[in-house]
């Protein structure tokens, strides 16, 4: 399973990348706003830190303007992945980019049928939004499971990029179902390591080790 970080904050990306835990980065207009930076500059910086795919999202909604923005974003770096809305105009651009061998991420996926369309258009990734479905009292994880079944039924190569992750449990559930990738805020990735018994055990081992009076090396 691959881990992507859902942020446009280069300090956070650098920190987790140094741990060897980041396979890619996803951004969106809200995350660019949060970074307070210019999209061209921040995406370029992220692409210089991360070797894997870096999703940069178009802001246009009609075919011509999506194409114009896509051509601009593609020039930023080789590892740019164009994040497109799951609309017919977005799918049309997706198909063209797929034929050109460029990476795409179809975003704002809330149904299995939308994911099916993304796969038919040859998308590299499809991003089902778990948390936002949970927010309206629907089952985000059920969507991941439905998409997994459909993609396996037909051997679609589009990867399931579980997005809108709100808890460490979302990561575990997505992994159990077989999502190919989880994109999460850095705070969630850091929470994956937490367990009070790990802390307690370490404390006991360190205290006992001190009592032995020994030194390794
Ligand atoms: O990048 C898309 C996604 O992960 C959004 O998450 O928390 O805004 O629903 P959120």
**Distance between CA 83 and CA 9 in Å, rounded?**
18
| Ligand 1, pocket-test mutation among 164, 184, 185, 187, most atoms within 8 A of CB | 164
pLDDT value of residue 206: 98
Place of tokens 């940069």: 56
pLDDT > 90 in the chain, percent: 100
7 confidence band (pLDDT: 50, 70, 90): very high
Reply yes or no on whether 211 is catalytic: no
What number is the average pLDDT over the span 21-28? 98
Burial 53-91, CB ≥16 within 10 A → b, else e: bbbbbbebeeeeebbebbeebbebeebbbbbbbbbebbb
110 lines ligand 1 (CB under 6 A): no
* Ligand 1, atom 5, residue with closest C-alpha: 164
Q: Nearest C-alpha to atom 8 of ligand 1 is from which residue? A: 164
Token pair listed for 159: 């990867």
Q: What is the pTM of this model?
A: 0.96
Residue 149: the pLDDT is 98
The gap between the terminal CA atoms of the chain, to the nearest Å, is 36
Note the pLDDT of residue 110: 98
Atom 10 of ligand 1: nearest residue by CA position: 164
């Amino acid at each position: 399973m691959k881990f992507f970080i859902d942020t446009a904050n280069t300090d956070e990306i650098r920190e987790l990348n140094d741990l060897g835990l980041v396979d890619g980065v996803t951004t969106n207009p809200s995350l660019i706003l949060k970074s307070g930076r210019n999209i061209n500059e921040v995406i370029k910086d992220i692409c210089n830190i991360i070797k894997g795919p870096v999703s940069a999202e178009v802001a246009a909604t009609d075919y011509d303007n999506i194409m114009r923005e896509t051509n601009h974003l593609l020039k930023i770096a080789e590892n740019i992945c164009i994040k497109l809305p799951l609309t017919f105009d977005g799918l049309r651009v997706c198909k063209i980019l797929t034929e050109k061998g460029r990476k795409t991420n179809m975003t704002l996926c809330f149904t299995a049928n939308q994911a099916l369309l993304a796969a038919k258009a040859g998308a590299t990734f499809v991003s089902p939004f778990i948390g936002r479905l949970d927010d309206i009292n629907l089952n985000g994880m059920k969507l991941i499971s439905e998409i997994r079944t459909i993609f396996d039924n037909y051997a679609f190569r589009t990867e399931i990029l579980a997005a809108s992750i709100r808890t460490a449990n979302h990561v575990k559930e997505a992994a159990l179902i077989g999502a190919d990738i989880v994109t999460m805020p850095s705070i969630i990735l850091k929470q994956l390591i937490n367990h009070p018994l790990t802390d307690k055990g370490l404390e006991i081992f360190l205290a006992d080790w001190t009592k032995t009076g020994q030194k390794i090396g």
